[in-house]
């Protein structure tokens, strides 16, 4: 996989603060930042932090981060974004317990979660998305694990132009610090079979 230079990505809703630490990017979240549309709550949030670049219709992306997810709905991971009504975010999220979570939005959001054992602060987590045809497959890995644990297979129109990159949200607070390694892109995975 190829690493993207940080200046090849553009902020969509910048966070409160950003700093470079060697090859890593250290992000401090702003207040009430989130992505959600309607389902179950009736509100729309389209102000989470996303640092992204154009993403091909056939390809993969990996985002590795370190974060202490302690606040309700704290999130970090990656996002594929077409517009405020069509996007997918995937990562770890705090809702009491820690979850591997994916939110798919096509006008309305849905939310899928799977429990994850608690991890020590500073433990790296890698989220991988592979786009092929009309599907995007999401996997994750914790620590030294390759991102091979399946999170979800989600629909995305095959001709839809999207940007993709590092995402973080803190819907109930501000000031979470997330350390992102350089974003990596490459060819798509083989189809699930």
pLDDT tens, position by position, 73-91: 999 999 999 999 999 999 9
Assess whether pLDDT exceeds 80 at residue 166. yes
Alpha helices in the chain (DSSP H): none
Spatial CA neighbour of 35 closest among 77, 97, 96: 77
Mean pLDDT of 152-160: 97
DSSP 33: B
Quote the pLDDT of residue 169: 97
Structure token pair of residue 83: 């517009």
Please give the mean pLDDT across all residues of the chain: 96
Quote the pLDDT of residue 94: 97
What does the domain layout of the chain look like in residue ranges?
A: 2-186
Whole-prediction pTM: 0.96
Mean pLDDT of 49-75: 97
Spatial CA neighbour of 90 closest among 79, 81, 98, 105: 79
What percent of the chain stands above pLDDT 90?
93
Assess whether pLDDT exceeds 90 at residue 155. yes
Q: Are 169 and 94 in contact (CB under 8 A)?
A: no
Q: Which helix (H) or strand (E) holds 193?
A: none
Biggest CA pair distance of the chain: 42
pLDDT band at 45 (very low <50, low <70, confident <90, very high): confident
Spatial CA neighbour of 174 closest among 50, 49, 51, 66: 49
pLDDT, tens digit, 9 for 90 and up, residues 3-27 = 999 999 999 999 999 999 999 999 9
Collapsing DSSP to helix, strand or coil, 6 comes out as helix
Q: Are strands 177-180 and 59-67 parallel, antiparallel or unpaired?
A: antiparallel
CATH topology of domain 2-186: Jelly Rolls (2.60.120)
Assess whether pLDDT exceeds 80 at residue 183. yes
Collapsing DSSP to helix, strand or coil, 8 comes out as helix
**Residue 151 Cα distances to 76, 137, 161, angstroms:** 15, 8, 23
Spatial CA neighbour of 31 closest among 66, 88, 71: 71
């Amino acid at each position: 996989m190829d690493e993207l230079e940080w200046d090849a990505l553009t902020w969509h809703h910048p966070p409160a603060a950003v700093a470079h630490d060697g090859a890593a990017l250290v992000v401090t979240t702003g207040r009430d930042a989130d992505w959600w549309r309607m389902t179950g709550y009736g509100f729309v949030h389209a102000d989470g932090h996303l640092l992204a670049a154009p993403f091909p219709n056939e390809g993969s992306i990996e985002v590795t981060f370190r974060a202490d997810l302690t606040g309700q709905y704290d999130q970090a991971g990656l996002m594929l974004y077409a517009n405020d009504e069509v996007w997918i975010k995937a990562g770890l999220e705090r809702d009491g317990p820690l979850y591997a979570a994916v939110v798919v939005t096509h006008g309305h959001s849905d939310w899928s979660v799977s429990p994850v054992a608690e991890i020590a602060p500073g433990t790296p987590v890698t989220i991988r998305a592979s786009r092929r045809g009309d599907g995007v497959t999401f996997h994750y890995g914790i620590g030294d694990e390759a991102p091979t644990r399946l999170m979800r297979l989600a629909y995305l129109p095959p001709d839809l132009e999207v940007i993709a990159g590092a995402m973080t949200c803190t819907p109930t607070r501000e000031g979470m610090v997330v350390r992102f390694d350089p974003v990596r892109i490459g060819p798509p995975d083989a189809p699930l079979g």
